[in-house]
Structure 1
Amino acid sequence: MEQQIPGIRDGTAAGTGAPVLEEWQQGGKWFTYEGHAIFSRMAGRGEPLVLMHGFPTASWDWNRIWPMLVQNNNVLALDFLGFGFSDKPREHAYSIEDQADLVQGLLEGLGLESVHLLAHDYGCSVAQELLAREQEGVLPFQVASVCFLNGALFPEVHRPLMIQRLLRSPFGGLLGRALTRRSFERSFLKLFGSKSLPDQRDMDDFWHLLTYNNGRGILHHLIQFMEDRRCHRHRWVSALQNATQPMRLISGMADPVSGAAMALRYQEMIPGADVVQLRNVGHYPHFESPWEVFCAYRDFRKHR
């Protein structure tokens, strides 16, 4: 049965193209989670579809595919706590479980009975946690399907960048606060396919979202999700292996962090694995090749 998410607003121009960052922010809404303001976007008609972004970016990552998705889905995207336009409390104990609590609380508050999940990177771990909770019988809604984009679903084959390793070190707090635009770009651009690099305006937007509201000061706290993945590895992998709903992995194979090796591991570990491989696409397939990702996702949902 089709469900309508209350309070829909669309910041695009009649859905004709991807919004610029200012429009994205102006078209959003904030809700409160444990006293913190969380940025969200809602638009479209159809079954509820929740978009969950990666580290260290924000829901803005979805802007190029957003106009396509809202045509046939009731789309909800949010900036996780500590990311993008959401609050970034300095002393908060950030964790994947906490972000899953945030998503669960929002969806429960909206009264949704069933949702589809489309997750990237960090968001993939949140999706795994939600799947585990559903299998444990503690999730108040049904996960109808899950589509993953380039996430570290299996931490043993994850290859973090050097800057990520350093952020986890005892000097991580100092490194984050001292991070410059140049050093960020040098590391960030390694994640993309050679034919789909962000332009200068894109990098302006990514940098703005990262540094918004003292974002550099908490990077060393956010990066602890890598330890969460290690600690919860068995539970989260089991959630994938025991899932009964349709799942698909759309993998940018040129991703040096969680690309080809992660796709191969997924095929080895998941019974009847459904994997779509995108050649010459890096860690951000929905940003680098939005039409390919949309077609792969549309096909996934159409045949389920």
Structure 2
Amino acid sequence: MALPGIALEQWRSASQGFDFKGHEIRYWTAGAADAPPLLLIHGFPTASWDWHYLWRPLAQRYRLIACDMLGFGYSAKPADHDYSLLEQADLQQALLAHIGVSEDVHVLAHDYGDSVAQELLARQQQGRCQLASCVFLNGGLFPETHHPVLLQKLLLSPLGRFIGPLFSRQKLEASFAKIFGPETLPGAAELDDFWTLITHNNGPAIMHRLIRYMPERRQQRERWVAAMQAGQVPMRIIDGAVDPISGRHMVERYRELIDQPDTVLLEDIGHYPQTEAPEAVLEHYLAFRQCLQQIPAPSLD
């Protein structure tokens, strides 16, 4: 049965706000306060509404926390800001502190959010963060396997400041057509909503600043991969296989680098599995969490 999702305006009306370094951040919570906390971290260039199909079913089991990161969605988008993945990790930790989460946190991340999650994993190793598990959806976990689309390359170039303001809904549709699965393309209404989130607070004007996460990933690559290889936090990848940016080829690299890799490939699904195949993502995420709860039988020796 298809998951119903949440209309964008309804989603927006449920948001709350808090101040992060003088900038307003919009965030969402759901589920019982005593349920295990689950932090959802969205990708580029969209926002936390990406999770709207999964939001209600996950809230039946977990305490959900999500925000539109600085520069995204309904949060502040300062024009002269030096956006950083490390700062976005600071934001996630500030959000958890703001709502009073003190226990170990489970993480479900996508795309740009995968890099933020990797930073949190590195902080876990340093004793600066408490994670219980981490599940990645399609993202550039390894710079050597990340294949950016033309728009991303142009935004990162010296022409980037001119490219962002020229970005249009038509170009968004063309870009998504290349990275979604052929049978799971977003419809017109969904594209309109994605576009609303991107353009809110003049978002296209800062896209060339947000895209600087790509070289930052290269700078942090060894530290982040080492944290993943340390095996301190249970991890799983749920990945759309036909995604040209971070699909099957990224999972193959993950299997080379990570001991006892836990990976799920969704055939015919692209870069946004949480909107293209939310039922499958939910199934595999819940199965992962069920595995974490299993306690080995006591030894009879």
TM range (shorter): over 0.9
* Residue aligning to 1:115: 105
* Residue aligning to 2:23: 36
Instruction: Give CA deviations for 1:132-185 in whole Å, capped at 9, x if unaligned.
Output: 01101222xx20000000111111010000010000000101010111221221
SS in 2 for 1:106: helix
What's the TM-score once normalised by structure 2's chain length?
0.94
How does 1:50-199 map onto structure 2 within 5 Å?
Answer: 50-109=39-98, 110-139=100-129, 142-199=130-187
Stretches of structure 1 that go unaligned for 5 or more consecutive residues are: 1-15
Stretches of structure 2 that go unaligned for 5 or more consecutive residues are: 293-301
SS in 1 for 2:157: coil
1-side partners of 2:234 and 2:184: how far apart? Answer: 29
State whether structure 2 residue 227 is matched by structure 1 residue 242. no
1:287 to 275, 283, 295: 275
2-side partners of 1:239 and 1:108: how far apart? Answer: 23
Q: Is the 8 A contact 1:17 1:67 kept in 2?
A: no
State whether structure 2 residue 202 is matched by structure 1 residue 217. no
SS in 2 for 1:189: helix
SS in 1 for 2:224: helix
Which runs of at least 4 in structure 1 moved beyond 6 Å after TM superposition?
none
Q: Is the 8 A contact 2:169 2:192 kept in 1?
A: no
2-side partners of 1:135 and 1:211: how far apart? Answer: 37
* Residue aligning to 1:25: 12
Q: Is the 8 A contact 1:131 1:243 kept in 2?
A: no
Q: Is the 8 A contact 1:84 1:209 kept in 2?
A: yes
1-side partners of 2:58 and 2:273: how far apart? Answer: 15
2-side partners of 1:204 and 1:134: how far apart? Answer: 38
What's the TM-score once normalised by structure 1's chain length?
0.93
2-side partners of 1:256 and 1:111: how far apart? Answer: 37
Report the alpha carbon displacement of residue 105 of structure 1 after superposing the two structures with TM: 1.4
SS in 2 for 1:32: strand
| Amino acid in structure 2 at the alignment position of 1:213 | N
SS in 1 for 2:27: strand
Percent identical across equivalent pairs? Answer: 49
SS in 2 for 1:64: helix
